[in-house]
């Protein structure tokens, strides 16, 4: 295994310093199912110390915008300089191909750089002969941020960048399945942010629960499962904390009857199978017109057959393992359930023998709305393709979900595509692309897929509270 992984001793970051923990937990390489490293288990005392540090740093940090921007820019550069080290650790703990891990590191750097340069608009409400008023945006204070195992660095940067630009401080916790890359990021960034501005803790789910209920945080930013998101919302409600929740998705792709299958097949496939399908906004179900259904199935089946599955450390790997045993068992269960109930796999459908949480890239036909594989979020390399006759019926089926994160529409006639996209119940609908992310474009979901927005100006505002300042020029008539 790469020396960046085996030779590193991992520590928490509290008040700008590396801190060891008295206990630790094992981190499993999903390609081998072996524990390859130990991550520190933060204690209650260390949790309190992190929030104390964040609280103590807040007052000075919020007052110096130029220092915040400079630190974010320096953090972006430091992450780029440590990219190979970060990517190696990310592949070992997450399973994703090393090329994809490098991309994730690059994205984290890009996001921090973007926020270092983002101009925040003034929100002037009134400016006339009677009065002047505007909405100021005040940082909320220490933020509790929790990231998932599928993109710990990318989604960490989605939280760090806007929160710190707005003047907040942060205590950040990654998933216990992928704690190491975030710990290394914390080490890389020590000395760039003032002590206490960015604290990084690792531990189990109980640590996350303690973070969300901690009395010294006024804001929780969580990305993860719907079930955990509901617990976070309930915990926040007890203290009326602000929350941003980016949760699961069951994202549909609707193909219109004029599409060129050969031209879009690659984009559809990777829209579904990127990171082995372990993306909240990945395509989870495809609706194709009956007139081209066979061609769609054949094209996607061929791509799935040719995708190379293997250890992410191998540069030639296209798809790595599923990240953890729980997710592996869920994908096996949903695939087997679909096959028992009439679906057919044109390719795949089975786990791959040997060590590691590997599953064959799978294309399913005959899976209908109402089946688990269509109605639930599989979060793995299994894609049902569903035929339709009427576009209104396809839209209705796409919307018949508790989720509302994202989706896509594919059409040569972009006016038709736009018209269908506008009818989907989702936070984001792409036309002729999927998962087209950019730091300036807001992202969020509705229904069970979450609440609030990340990215862009909207992402910064989500880490603030509005403060109206009103200055009268002329005495209001109501007081005369």
Tokens of 90: 């990310």
Q: How many domains does the chain have?
A: 2
Distance CA 408, CA 259 (A): 13
**Does residue 184 sit in the same domain as residue 301?**
no
pLDDT at 6: 55
State the average pLDDT over residues 413-441. Answer: 98
- φ, ψ of residue 313 to 5 degrees: the values are -70, -15
Q: Is 455 left (phi over 0), alpha (psi -120 to 50) or beta?
A: left
What pLDDT is recorded for position 307? 98
Please check whether residue 40 is in contact with residue 24, taking contact to mean a CB–CB distance below 8 angstroms: yes
Asked whether residue 86 falls in the same domain as residue 206, the answer is yes
Tokens 């296209």 identify what position?
A: 318
In this prediction, residue 121 carries a pLDDT of: 86
Same domain, 395 and 455: no
Indicate which residue of 104, 246, 360, 377 is catalytic.
Answer: 246
CATH label of the domain that carries residue 134 = 3.40.605.10
| Closest by Cα among 145, 234, 246 to 449 | 246
- Assigned domain for 444 exists: no
Same-domain check for residues 268 and 195: no
Positive or negative, the Cα torsion across 25, 280, 241, 75? positive
Specify whether 58 is located in the same domain as 182: yes
Q: What is the pLDDT of residues 328-375, one digit of tens each?
A: 999 999 999 999 999 999 999 999 999 999 999 999 999 998 999 999
Residue 477 has pLDDT above 90, yes or no: no
Catalytic site residue 433? Answer: no
Query: 473: pLDDT confidence band, cut at 50, 70 and 90?
Result: confident
The per-residue pLDDT for 4 is 53
Kindly tell me if the per-residue pLDDT of 474 is higher than 90.
no
In a domain, 182, yes or no: yes
pLDDT beyond 70 at 211: yes
Return the sign of the alpha-carbon dihedral for residues 215, 219, 223, 229: positive
Beta bridge pairs of residue 220: 144, 243
Least confident among 141-150, 318-327, 466-475: 466-475
* Percent of the chain clearing pLDDT 70 (strictly above): 97
Phi/psi at 420 (nearest 5 deg)? Answer: -70, -40
- Residue 478 belongs to a domain: no
Question: Residue holding tokens 């209650």?
Answer: 44
Q: Is residue 200 part of a domain?
A: yes
Shared domain for 457 and 341, answered yes or no, is no
Do 241 and 314 lie in one domain? The reply is: no
Give a yes or no: residue 386 inside a domain. yes
Active-site residue (options: 280, 360, 377, 454): 280
**Within this chain, do residues 322 and 226 fall inside the same structural domain, yes or no?**
no
436, part of any domain: no
Pair (243, 387) in one structural domain: no
* Structure confidence by residue, pLDDT tens digits, 59-118: 999 999 999 999 999 999 999 999 999 999 999 999 999 999 999 999 999 999 999 999
Q: Is the pLDDT of residue 475 over 90?
A: no
The CATH code of the domain that includes 323 is: 3.40.309.10
Spatial contact of 383 and 343, defined as CB atoms under 8 Å apart: no
Whether residues 411 and 426 share a domain: the answer is yes
Domain assignment present for residue 23? The answer is: yes
**DSSP 8-state symbol, 425:** -
Containing domain of residue 270, as a range?
251-431
Each residue's pLDDT tens digit, 151-181: 999 999 999 999 999 999 999 999 999 999 9
> How many residues are given for the chain?
480
Quick one: average pLDDT of 278-303?
98
Confidence grade of residue 3 (pLDDT, cut at 50, 70, 90):
low
Do residues 237 and 96 share a domain? yes
Q: 131 and 16: one domain?
A: yes
Cα(284)–Cα(282) distance, integer angstroms: 6
Query: Quick check: is 441 in a domain?
Result: no
pTM value is 0.95
246 is catalytic: yes
């Amino acid at each position: 295994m790469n020396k960046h992984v085996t030779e590193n001793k991992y520590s928490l970051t509290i008040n700008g310093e590396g801190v060891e923990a008295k206990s630790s937990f094992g981190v499993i390489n999903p390609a081998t199912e072996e524990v390859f490293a130990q991550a520190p288990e933060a204690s209650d005392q260390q949790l309190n110390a992190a929030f104390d540090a964040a609280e103590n740093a807040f007052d000075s940090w919020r007052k110096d915008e130029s220092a915040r921007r400079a630190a974010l820019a320096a953090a972006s550069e430091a992450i780029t300089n440590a990219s190979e080290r970060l990517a190696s650790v990310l592949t070992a703990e997450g399973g994703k191909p090393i090329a994809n891990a490098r991309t994730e590191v690059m994205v984290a750097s890009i996001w921090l750089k973007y926020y270092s340069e983002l101009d925040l608009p003034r929100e002037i409400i009134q400016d006339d002969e009677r009065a002047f008023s505007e909405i100021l945006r005040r940082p909320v204070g220490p933020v509790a941020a929790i990231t998932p195992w599928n993109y710990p660095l990318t989604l960490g940067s989605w939280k760090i960048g806007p929160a710190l630009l707005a003047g907040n401080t942060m205590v950040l916790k990654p998933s216990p399945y992928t704690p190491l890359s975030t710990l290394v990021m914390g080490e890389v960034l020590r000395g760039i942010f003032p002590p206490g501005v960015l604290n990084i803790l690792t531990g189990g789910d109980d640590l996350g629960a303690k973070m969300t209920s901690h009395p010294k945080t006024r804001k929780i930013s969580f990305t993860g499962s719907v079930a955990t998101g509901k617990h976070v919302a309930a915990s926040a409600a007890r203290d009326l904390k602000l929350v941003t929740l980016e949760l699961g998705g069951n994202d549909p792709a609707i193909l219109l009857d004029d599409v060129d299958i050969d031209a879009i097949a690659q984009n559809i496939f990777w829209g579904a199978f990127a990171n082995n399908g372990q993306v909240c906004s990945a395509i989870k179900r495809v609706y194709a017109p009956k007139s081209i259904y066979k061609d769609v199935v054949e094209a996607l089946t061929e791509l799935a057959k040719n995708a190379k599955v293997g250890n992410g450390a191998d540069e030639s790997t296209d798809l790595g393992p599923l990240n953890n045993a729980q997710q592996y068992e869920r994908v096996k269960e949903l695939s087997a359930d679909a096959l028992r109930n009439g679906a057919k796999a044109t390719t795949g459908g089975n786990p791959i023998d040997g060590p590691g949480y590997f599953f064959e890239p799978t294309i399913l036909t005959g899976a209908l709305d109402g089946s688990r594989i269509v109605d639930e979020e599989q979060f793995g390399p299994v894609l049902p393709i569903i035929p339709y006759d009427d576009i209104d019926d396809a839209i209705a089926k796409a919307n018949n979900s508790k989720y509302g994160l994202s989706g896509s529409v594919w059409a040569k006639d972009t006016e038709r595509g736009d018209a269908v996209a506008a009818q989907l119940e989702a936070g984001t609908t792409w036309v002729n692309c999927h998962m087209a992310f950019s730091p300036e474009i807001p992202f969020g979901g509705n229904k069970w897929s979450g609440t609030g927005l990340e990215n862009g100006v909207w992402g910064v505002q989500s880490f603030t509270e509005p403060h109206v300042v009103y200055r009268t020029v002329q005495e209001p008539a109501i007081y005369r």
